[in-house]
């Protein structure tokens, strides 16, 4: 069954072009022209992925993203923005977007991002049904990562992560103490190294740290900055 993608874009020419290319790629596509319609559609019947324009009438893309994440919806979100300022890009990611593209963009680039996000989401869904494999558990102090189930636990309690957050955390935990630049992480986890998208890495790391550090008993600052890169240190025994 083809993946269901919701496209929320108020510019008809861009919306129609995105829909056409996604349909030609074999996806089932629904399109809306404003944020209110996008939110209502997602709450009624969630799509597998949301392509969300930042600036739309009524609710903008940021508000839609914030509302979905506040309701615990982990649907992958690819944000589209005509704005080139760093603040707009970072804010979208901070509110829970998984990735973004700055207009103008190529359809080939959009399709590549869509495919990558859907692949990660599919792995997460499939892993939730798989039995845990203790032999493959990755541990860092009281943090346990079960790759076979795409699950993260702290002292038995499960932490919720998006597909990209999980892959980033697993990459760090599998190589404790090793320092990675943003470009290296983009290449290893996202699968691309386009200049200007380092903000994606920074924001996802901030989100990881926020979730890991909600528990005051969890070792603090397990993801640390070192020079121009990031690493996960070994937790104290």
- What ranges do the domains of the chain cover? 4-125, 130-232
CA distance 232 to 175: 8
**What DSSP state is assigned to residue 82?**
S
Give the model's pLDDT for residue 116: 86
CA distance 117 to 75: 10
Give the model's pLDDT for residue 237: 45
pLDDT along the chain (237 residues), means of 10: 93 96 97 95 92 90 90 88 69 80 90 88 64 66 79 80 82 81 79 64 80 60 55 58
**130-232: same fold as 4-125?**
no
Q: What are phi and psi of 174, to 5 degrees?
A: -80, -15
Radius of gyration of the chain (CA): 18
Topology adopted by domain 130-232? Arc Repressor Mutant, subunit A (1.10.10)
> Per residue in 16-31, pLDDT tens?
999 999 999 999 999 9
CA distance 125 to 141: 26
Give the model's pLDDT for residue 175: 80
Give the model's pLDDT for residue 195: 55
CATH H-level, domain 4-125: superfamily: Response regulator (3.40.50.2300)
CA distance 64 to 146: 31
Give the bridge partners for 4, in sequence order: 28
CA distance 193 to 91: 21
């Amino acid at each position: 069954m083809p993946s269901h993608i919701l496209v929320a874009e108020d510019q008809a020419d861009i919306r129609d072009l995105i829909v056409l290319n996604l349909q030609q790629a074999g996806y089932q596509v629904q399109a809306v022209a404003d944020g209110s319609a996008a939110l209502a559609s997602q709450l009624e019947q969630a799509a597998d992925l949301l392509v969300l324009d930042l600036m739309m009438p009524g609710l903008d893309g940021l508000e839609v993203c914030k509302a979905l994440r506040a309701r615990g919806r982990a649907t992958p979100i690819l944000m589209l923005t005509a704005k080139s300022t760093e603040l707009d890009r970072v804010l979208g990611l901070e509110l829970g977007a998984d990735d973004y593209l700055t207009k103008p963009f190529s359809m080939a680039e959009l399709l590549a991002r869509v495919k990558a996000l859907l692949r990660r989401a599919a792995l997460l869904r499939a892993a939730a049904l798989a039995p845990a494999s203790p032999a493959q558990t990755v541990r860092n102090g009281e943090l346990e990562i079960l790759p076979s189930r795409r699950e993260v636990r702290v002292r038995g309690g499960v932490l919720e992560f998006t597909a990209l957050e999980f892959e980033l955390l697993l990459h760090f935990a599998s190589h404790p103490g090793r320092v990675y630049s943003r470009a290296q992480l983009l290449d290893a986890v996202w699968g691309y190294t386009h200049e200007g998208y380092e903000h994606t890495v920074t924001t996802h790391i901030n989100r990881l740290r926020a979730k890991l550090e909600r528990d005051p008993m969890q070792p603090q600052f397990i993801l640390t900055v070192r020079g121009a890169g990031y690493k996960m240190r070994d937790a104290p025994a």
